[in-house]
């Protein structure tokens, strides 16, 4: 028995080093791999899954197979030419933190299941609040909760809105007996997680009013006011106004100051979905765009975006953490109540993975100034891209960037193809080279390239290379 245990320990060290070597190669030498790759066999395997193994095999063999499989269908977010959806190159310190937290299998769900994990989680929540300039009261419980991502953070915020505005008796009686016709308001550019959450909570997707946006992608305040008045006239009850602190499409930020006033005027919960852009809220260069975020009753932040930590961590901040306890508190006969800070009482999950250690270590490693410098670098890179686009007669900028997202297109093409068709062909062509990855945005019926600066290693030289690749593809198409 002891020999078997020693063998397991030896395998852990030896094979752990194989995994670390793989990570080091992918992290420090990302250009060795295509930006986006997928073998034809993977789709076939998805439709025809392997049978459950009946006999076990050596750990080293399994790790080699796992690595080979991953790189046969790999989205290389560490590549400086990955410009897709906001998927970051994680900071090395955050990877180590996640490894340590998972390896020791601590959970911040309950004090007795992880006292240190609970303390570090509470500290990290407070640090995020301080970093974005979101003021809150410090009480016996943290000012928020970490979630599996921005979608669950938004869902938790909408539950707070429902409970607070419609009355907490609905938590027991349910909406079936409610006399209210609740309505929720958000810009047409707001995130789809909001209407998914409304369905999940039983409020229904039809209660969402998606308000038109202006030419810059920000909510139209006049249209919002008109919609609220119309709803009240037919007996509806406005319960929540969602401001967007960085749209996924273009990075636009709603006028949060004005939205906070509207929410107050109509006695609504004011939630700011700043999953993408909220980390820029207190940066001197971008603070003006986020004026009014302090008026929010709750704010969603996704650290797994521009705080550069791995996927699987979202965050909901509130003015008063006790509201979360009121909405989510639950127990059972097997649970001994000891009046300890049990964070499972503040959200839907019970036992959950400890994902805040990597972020806590990143804050310790960089400090707020170091993080701000990374954010400045990404914005500097995106402004270089906007300038390159504006200086090229063949390209057309959609709007000046606010966050590190830039949308543009090929604005003129002399041959018979339509502008939309040529943009789609060029996007596909440069992606298929394996050297670049950009996405397409449908903006009011027209196709645009969407470039998001997700990687703190991406610099102006990479941008120059991207523009050259686009112009080269245009030349190739002109010759056909």
Strands 298-301 and 314-318: antiparallel
Residue 60 tokens read as 């080293």
Going by the DSSP 8-state scheme, the letter that residue 78 receives in this structure is T
| 239 to 157, 201, 230, 270: CA distances (angstroms) | 12, 14, 15, 9
Residue-level pLDDT at 430: 94
Residue-level pLDDT at 2: 52
For the chain, 480 residues long, the average pLDDT of each consecutive 10-residue run is 56 88 93 86 84 86 92 93 92 95 92 92 96 85 93 97 93 82 96 95 95 96 98 96 96 98 98 96 97 97 96 95 90 77 85 93 97 97 98 95 96 82 94 94 95 96 97 86
Classify residue 265 as exposed, middle or buried by CB count within 10 Å of its CB (0-12, 13-18, 19+): exposed
Nearest by Cα to 440 from 38, 193, 187, 84: 84
Contact 343, 147 (CB under 8 A): no
Residue-level pLDDT at 4: 58
Q: How many CA atoms lie within 13 A of 117 on its CB side?
A: 27
User: Distance between CA atoms of 207 and 221, rounded to whole angstroms?
Assistant: 19
Report residue 305 CA to chain centroid gap.
5
Classify residue 471 as exposed, middle or buried by CB count within 10 Å of its CB (0-12, 13-18, 19+): middle
The backbone torsions φ and ψ at residue 449, rounded to the nearest 5 degrees and listed phi first, read: -75, 140
Classify residue 308 as exposed, middle or buried by CB count within 10 Å of its CB (0-12, 13-18, 19+): buried
């Amino acid at each position: 028995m002891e020999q078997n245990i020693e063998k397991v320990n030896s395998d852990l060290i030896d094979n752990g080093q194989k995994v670390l070597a793989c990570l080091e190669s992918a992290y420090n030498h990302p250009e060795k791999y295509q930006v986006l790759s997928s073998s034809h066999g993977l789709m076939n395997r998805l439709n025809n899954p392997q049978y459950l193994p009946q006999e076990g095999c050596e750990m080293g063999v399994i790790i080699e197979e796992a690595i080979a499989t991953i790189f046969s269908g790999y989205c290389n977010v560490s590549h400086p030419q990955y410009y897709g959806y906001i998927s970051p190159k994680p900071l090395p310190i955050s990877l180590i933190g996640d490894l340590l937290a998972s390896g020791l299998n601590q959970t911040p769900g309950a004090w007795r299941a992880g006292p240190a994990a609970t303390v570090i989680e509470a500290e990290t929540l407070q640090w995020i609040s301080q970093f974005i300039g979101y003021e809150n009261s410090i009480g016996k419980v943290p000012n928020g909760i970490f979630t599996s991502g921005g979608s669950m953070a938004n869902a938790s915020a909408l539950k707070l809105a429902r409970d607070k505005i419609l009355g907490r008796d609905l938590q027991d009686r349910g909406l079936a007996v409610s006399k209210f016709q609740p309505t929720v308001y958000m810009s047409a550019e707001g995130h789809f997680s909001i209407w998914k959450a409304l369905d999940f909570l039983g409020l229904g997707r039809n209660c969402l009013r998606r308000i038109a946006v202006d030419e810059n992608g920000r909510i139209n305040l006049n249209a919002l006011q008109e919609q609220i008045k119309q709803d009240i006239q037919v007996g509806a009850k406005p319960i929540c106004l969602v401001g967007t602190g960085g749209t996924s499409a273009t990075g636009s930020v709603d006028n949060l100051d004005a939205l906070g006033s509207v929410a107050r005027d109509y006695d609504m919960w004011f939630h700011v979905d700043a999953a993408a852009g909220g980390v820029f809220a207190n940066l001197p260069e971008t603070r003006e765009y986020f004026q009014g975020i302090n008026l929010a009753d709750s704010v969603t932040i996704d650290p797994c975006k521009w705080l550069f930590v791995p996927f699987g961590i979202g965050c909901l901040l509130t003015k008063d953490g006790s509201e979360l306890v009121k909405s989510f508190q639950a127990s059972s006969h097997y649970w001994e109540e000891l009046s300890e800070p049990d964070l499972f009482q503040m959200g839907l999950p019970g036992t959950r993975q400890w994902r805040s250690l990597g972020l806590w270590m990143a804050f310790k490693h960089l400090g707020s100034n170091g993080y701000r410098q990374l954010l400045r670098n990404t914005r500097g890179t995106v402004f270089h891209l906007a300038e390159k686009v504006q200086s090229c007669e063949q390209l057309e900028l959609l709007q000046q960037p606010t966050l590190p997202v830039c949308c543009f297109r090929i604005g003129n093409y002399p041959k018979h193809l339509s502008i939309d068709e040529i943009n789609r062909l060029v996007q596909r062509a440069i992606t298929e080279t394996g050297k670049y990855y950009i996405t397409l945005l449908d903006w009011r019926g027209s196709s645009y390239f969407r470039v998001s600066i997700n990687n703190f290693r991406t610099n102006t030289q990479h941008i120059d290379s991207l523009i050259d690749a686009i112009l080269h593809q245009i030349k190739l198409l002109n010759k056909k």
